Amino acid sequence: MSAEIVNFEFIIHSLIAVGLGGLIGLEREHRLPNEKVIAGVRTFPLTALAGVIFSFLATGDNLALLEIGVIIFGGFALIMAFRELHRPK
C-alpha cells in the first residue's frame, strides 16, 4: 500500500468521522434543548476524530496505542461528566 492511498484513506475516514460525530452531537443538543447536555456538537466530532487517529496509529502489531487512546478518552470523559454534573448551579 502506498503512502498516497493511506493518506487519502485517512482523510476520508477523518471527514466521515467528524461529519457523523457532528450529526450525533447536533441531534443530541436539539433533542434535549431544556436539559443540561454534557457532550454535544463539539465533543462528539473530536472524540470521533481521536478514534480515527488512534485506530490508524494502531495498525498492525502496535495495538497498545489503541488501548492507550481508549484509556485516555475514557478517563477524560468520566472526569468531564463528573465535573459537569457536580457544578454549582
Q: What is the pLDDT of residues 58-85, one digit of tens each?
A: 776 777 777 777 788 788 878 877 877 7
Output the pTM of the full model: 0.67
Q: What is the pLDDT of residues 28-46, one digit of tens each?
A: 888 866 777 777 788 888 8
* Grid coordinates of 6: 493511506
Q: Which DSSP string corresponds to the chain?
A: --HHHHHHHHHHHHHHHHHHHHHHHHHHHHHSTTS--SS-TTHHHHHHHHHHHHHHHT-TT-THHHHHHHHHHHHHHHHHHHHHHTS--
Check: CB of residue 69 under 8 Å from CB of residue 51: yes
* Domain boundary assignment for the chain: 3-85
